[in-house]
Structure 1
Amino acid sequence: MERKEAATKHRAFDLSLKAKPDNAGHFSGYASVWDVVDSYREKVAPGAFVASLAETAAKGRTLPILWQHRTDEPIGQWDVLKEDQHGLYGEGTLWLDEAPYARLAKRGMGAGAITGLSVGYYVKDSSFDETTRIRTLKQVDLVEASIVTTPANDEARVDTVKAKLAAGETITEREFERLLKDRGFSRSDAAAIADGGFKAWAAGAGQPHQATNAGLGDLAKALAGFSLPKL
């Protein structure tokens, strides 16, 4: 049965460049490679992007290249995104004249110092192997692809935090703060709540209703509906 997860997810890759950005900002490479298990024990199956790419093309749209997943910092567009036998192949153009970060990306990619790509997507269909404990992404809605300075950026680690909670493992205060931001808190509110309430929350084994600090009221409400992704 088809299932679409509500939250946008980020998946980080090493951007395998076939052609470094030229003077006009054109570059090409692979944004994803098939059947490679990442640190989250997930892999992408061939065909996962086909329906999403077709729908985007039918609407006459192109997907943006963002800088570090910042929706207010588009630095280019993907001119070509298609699947082949190796993975998801892309050809992009950086907006060198209009976007300052595009020039930074070009310089870093050319020098081999910026090699990360992180895609934003919704999971529509996946499967989980109980024996290998590996999740296979079978169909996703691709919404953007960002150039990132390091592939394993903090925002992409939110799923790892949730996996730790599911396994009963201890999380750090910083991971707790990222979880709050994932639940919709602003950066400043998440930092303040994590600083003042992390110990109380952790002492309650991650159960918000056990916290007695009145300042955690909003936290309890926000996490009351928290549930881990179904595998």
Structure 2
Amino acid sequence: MTTTKETGNCFEFDVKAIAEDGTFTGYASLFGVTDLGGDSVQPGAFTKSLKAKPAAKVKMLRGHDSSEPIGIWTSIVEDSRGLKATGHLILETVKGRETYALLKAGALDGLSIGYRTKKESFDQTKKVRLLSELELHEISVVTFPMLPTATISRVKSTDFSRLVAAINRATAALH
């Protein structure tokens, strides 16, 4: 068992669906898929962590940088495929708006988990570390995903263009 913070199991976003209010749903980890770091998260690995920590307490960061919170997770669940997360970018913040714009443009397109390994084993034949219990600390939006096989499945929409117009009017009024 390790006690250091680890990051991995990154996934690409489907940026075609990025909508205007910053709410999105996707997979932060897929079960049984080996990432480029040689780790494979096993079904049920997040069960204890999700019982102990509600979604809103799992931080939404940019690039695993604890000084870069960009939103909140509203739902995180394990299903048969992996760790499914629904979150909301806080568009009233500079970093939330920047992240939204970068996602929309396709400059950012990944998710990555920050966790502590609680139980693991090693498959000598496949040379893969099998992660069977993880303590989830954060899910980040990242530039370079390690495992580009999961995508965001849905992004909700509101009129972000009105918010941008209001910000632009307020900024112009200050000058």
TM-score band (shorter)?
A: 0.7 to 0.9
2:120 counterpart of 1:126: yes
Residue of structure 2 aligned with 1:151, choices 134, 145, 154: 145
**Kept in 2: contact 1:49–1:139 (CA 8 A):** yes
Q: TM-score normalised to the size of structure 2?
A: 0.76
Q: Which of 30, 33, 36 lines up with 1:33 in the alignment?
A: 30
Aligned length: 146
SS of the counterpart of 2:37? Answer: coil
Who wins on radius of gyration, i.e. which is larger? 1
> In proportion to residue count, which structure has more helix?
1
Which amino acid is the alignment partner of residue 138 of structure 1? S
Does 1:88 pair with 2:83?
Answer: yes
1:97 aligns with 2:92: yes
Cα gap change, 1:19 to 1:90, in 2 (>3 Å)? farther
Maintained 8 Å contact 1:67/1:147: yes
Matched ranges for 1:143-182 at <5 A: 143-152=137-146
Match of 1:45 in 2: 42
- 1:139, 1:20 → 2: CA distance? 32
Q: Which of the pair is proportionally richer in strand?
A: 2
The two structures, once aligned, show a CA RMSD in angstroms of: 2.0
- Are the aligned partners of 1:20 and 1:28 in contact in 2 as well (CA < 8 Å)? no
Distance 2:5 2:112 in 1: 12
Which amino acid in 2 is paired with 1:54? K
Confirm or deny that 1:117 pairs with 2:100: no
Q: Secondary structure at the match of 1:108?
A: helix
Rounded Cα–Cα distance in structure 1 between residues aligned with 2:126 and 2:9:
21
Residue 134 (structure 2) pairs with residue 137 (structure 1): no
Runs of at least 4 residues off by over 3 Å: 15-21
SS class of match (1:85): coil
Q: Gaps (5+ residues) in structure 1?
A: 153-231
- Which AA in structure 2 matches 1:47? G
What's the counterpart of residue 62 of structure 2? Answer: 67
Give 1:141 deviation, angstroms.
0.2
Q: In structure 1, what is the equivalent of residue 170 of structure 2?
A: none
Equivalent residue letter for 2:57? T
Q: Which runs of 5+ in 2 are unaligned?
A: 147-175
Higher RCO (C-alpha under 8 Å, 6+ residues apart) = 2
1:22-70 deviation per Cα after TM superposition (whole angstroms, max 9, x unaligned): 322111111111111112221010100111011003xx85312111111
Q: How far apart are 1:108 and its partner, in Å?
A: 2.1
1:126/1:56 CA distance change after superposition, 3 Å: same
Quote the residue 1:54 is aligned against.
51
- Offset, 1:151: 2.1
Alignment check: 8 A CA contact 1:25 1:94 kept? yes
